[in-house]
Structure 1
Amino acid sequence: MTEMKVQNIRLFRLHAHHLDVRRKKGCIPEIAGACGMQNTPPGAWETSLFNRVSDCSLSDMKALLFPEKSLLQAWSFRGAPVVFPVGESDAFLTALVPRDGEDWIYTQGIAGALDFLQMPFGELLDKLKQVMPLLDDRTIESKSGLDRTMAEWMLPLLPMEKRDLWNSPSLYGTPDRQTVGGAVVSFLLRPCAFLGLVVFGERAGASPAFTSYKGWLGHPLDPGEDAAGKLVRKFLHCYGPATADAFASWLGCSVKQARRMWESVSDEMEPVETCGGKKAFVLSADKDLLRSPPSVQRELLLLGGHDPYLDQRDRHILLDDKALQKKVWQTAANPGVILQRGEIIGIWAGKRKGAGIEIKMTLWDDASASKQKLQDLAEEYVAFRQQKLLKMEL
């Protein structure tokens, strides 16, 4: 097997993620469609696109979602809100629909509510699917509003003896604001998203808004003929060399589902050897590019904490020190990272204060990044956010 060096893998992935050089606005569908852009916390996808495109303002980005609707936001892999091209909806939605014996993504936590109601998962999902078409001609503001409304619409479909239980306080931490039914809906909305029954609509101030795929775009979701294969190819191109287990982790799906999808393109991949002698796979079409990746025109980058590049499952490729990895990948509110030729050399965070933003950076001992270059990058990012850089602490 061909052995792939760590630095070659980094440079290859930088190129696949469109981080080696900034592209023009016309490349946005290709860039956003590479592997999707997570939008948690809200605005994360804008930071990701900013780091890849040279001539796209914040208002331009928002226009791509609305009114142009060339990009779409919906719950996708790992149940997270993801922005992707409308034309690739099959890869980011349909591909995630499980087959017999496979679990739905992001629904494991529903078990407590099912036990409380003494109702099966499939029955409740079928009842929610019956009322979801009511979204075709309306928009609902806020996620809590969506949960509550759908739970109310489902109530008449439930057996009489289950309705009081359905309206009982939630078992999931917000009993004063959510019912058991609202919690059930919250879990089941991810499967509905994969089926094209709910997407994010035009944002209403600080709150997200929701409608159906058909209501937003004027036509139902086309499931496509090779949705699973498309998604596996995207993953391998952006994160290869990789394994089926890493694919399962990235999707947040069962190993069974990941391996079934993986096998759909097994004839398009081949094994290579990564650091430590481990076996992984690459697309055959990418092998030469991995051996000799393009040179990097941008040595230093400030990536947002949830940039797609940081979604690599083999984190040692980006950062070998396991203690420092814990500072980058946290349970919530990941910091941004300082990237040098594909390797993480520090972290950063921005804080809004008054009329601008203050940025604090931490470089690790062996880092050699120029302070002036970091200052320039900070000012560029803050200007993109239409703010002033009040202070940079290094």
Structure 2
Amino acid sequence: MEETSAEQVRNFRLHAHHLDACYGKDDVIAAISACGMQNSPPGAWEAALFNRVPACGAADRDRLLLEERTLMQAWSFRGAPVVFPAADSAAFLSALAAEGDEPWIYTRGIGLALDFLGVGFDELLALLEQVMPQLDGQTVAGKVALDQTLAAWIEPLLPERKRSLWNEPSMYGSPDKQTVGGAAVSFLLRPCSFKGLVVFGAREGASPTFTSYRSWLGRPLVPDPDAARKLVRKFLHCYGPSTPDRLAAWLGCSGAQARRLWKAAADEMEPVTFLGRKTQVLSADRERLLAPQPLERELLLLAAHDPYLDQRDRAVLQPDKTLQRRIWRTVANPGAIVYCGQVVGTWTGTKKGVGLEVKADWWDDAVDERQVRALAEQHAAFRGLGLAGFERV
């Protein structure tokens, strides 16, 4: 069995993520399609795209997402908002739907509401699916408003004895803003997203808006028997060599669901040894994996939540576990300074008026401070700001 090194894997993944060079506008869709771009916190996908296709500006992004709607945003893997090409809806939505006894992604916490209401998960999801078509032709501004709007549509369908419970204050926090019904709906929005029933619309100021898939694209989500295969293919191309348990971690799904999805593309894989484990790589990627290519860009300043930083085998990016804790925190991850595919430092940017103050910390002497500062200036310009200050801490 072929043995692969961390250096080979980093080089391969940089290429798969379109981070080995500065790509042009013709490559925008391919860069986003690779594995989607998480948009939490808001703006994360724009920063990720900037690091791959610097020439794609705000007007280009708005045209693709809001006018042409070649791109779209919906709750996807791990229940997070993700921007992806509409043509890839099967991989980023349909493939995530649970089957049989598999739990749905991002719904674990709903048990408190279900027990309080005395209803089953499938029963409540069926009621929500029954009212979701009312979103066709409508736009709802704000997540809380969406939860409560859908909860109000469900209420008449509930037995009368349960309606008062439905309207009790939420037990999940913000009881002044959310009811038990609204909280239950909030958990069920991910399954509805995977079924193509709800997507993000254009932002209204600081608020996201929501509508139906049919309203946004003018057509329903079409079933695709190859959805699972397409999803696993994307995962392995960007994060391979890998294993089903790492697919489960990336998707936020159960091990059972990950193994089922994995089998859908098993005929496209072959084994290699990596980090002491038997892993799988796409057969189509094997040659590129084993033959690293020179990098046109060796130093990168990636924003927090960039898809490249979403690797589940974090030792590939930084083998020192003490340093890993500085890169991936429980809350408020910093950005990452990446050199030849390895995370060698962190950075943060704070807006001050019309400027951006950047603080950076790195632990590799091969990194030139002038280059880090230049990248910080480019990031500030991408955000429409000047670099108000730069400090190595």
> For this structure pair, what is the TM-score category when the shorter chain's length is used for normalisation?
over 0.9
Which residue does the alignment assign to 1:384?
A: 382
Partner Cα distance (2:207, 2:63) in 1: 17
In the other structure, the counterpart of 1:57 is: 57
1:141-156 paired onto structure 2 within 5 Å: 141-156=141-156
The number of residue pairs the alignment matches comes to 392
Report the residue type matching 1:301 in the other structure.
L
Counterpart position of 2:316: 317
Q: What is residue 297 of structure 1 aligned with on the other side?
A: 296
Contact between 1:19 and 1:52, CA under 8 Å: does it hold in 2? yes
Listed as ranges, the matches of 1:1-394 within 5 Å are 1-275=1-275, 277-364=276-363, 366-394=364-392
Deviations 1:181-226 (A, max 9, x none): 0100100000000000000011111100000000111100112120
Quick one: which amino acid aligns to residue 288 of structure 2?
Answer: L
Shift of 1:62: 2.5
Kindly report the root-mean-square deviation, in angstroms, between the aligned alpha carbons of the 2 structures.
Answer: 0.8
Deviation at 1:67, TM superposition (A): 1.1
Letter in 1 for 2:320: D
CA distance in 1, matches of 2:331, 2:35: 21
In the superposition, the TM-score normalised over structure 2's length comes to 0.98
Q: Deviations over 1:220-278 (max 9, x none)?
A: 01121200000000000000010000001100011111101101111111111112x21
What stretches of structure 1 of length at least 5 have no aligned partner?
Answer: none
> For residues 59-115 of structure 1, what are the alpha-carbon distances to aligned partners after superposition, in whole Å with 9 as ceiling and x for unaligned?
321222111211000000000000000111111000001111111110001011111
Q: Give the Cα–Cα distance (whole angstroms) in 2 for the partners of residues 136 and 295 of structure 1.
A: 50
Q: Which runs of 4+ in 1 moved over 4 A?
A: none
CA-to-partner distance for each residue in 1:276-331, whole Å, 9 max, x for gaps?
Answer: x2111101111111110222110100001100001101000000111111111112
Kindly provide the amino acid, as one letter, of the partner of residue 375 in structure 1: R
Deviation at 1:354, TM superposition (A): 1.4
Q: Distance in 2 between matches of 1:304 and 1:156?
A: 45
Structure 2 gaps of 5+ residues are: none
TM-fit CA distance, 1:146: 0.3
User: 1: CA distance between counterparts of 2:62 and 2:350?
Assistant: 22
Letter of the structure 1 residue corresponding to residue 286 of structure 2: K
User: Residues 359-391 of structure 1: CA distance to partner in whole angstroms, max 9, x if unpaired?
Assistant: 110112x33211111111011111111111100
Q: Distance in 2 between the 1:313 and 1:367 partners?
A: 26
CA contact (8 A) 1:58 1:385 kept: no
Report percent identity of matched pairs.
58
* Aligned mates of 1:382, 1:351 — CA distance in 2: 10
1:362 & 1:184 partners in 2: Cα distance?
42
Counterpart-to-counterpart distance in 2, 1:131 and 1:68? 28
For 1:270, what is the secondary structure of its paired residue?
strand
AA aligned opposite 1:359: V
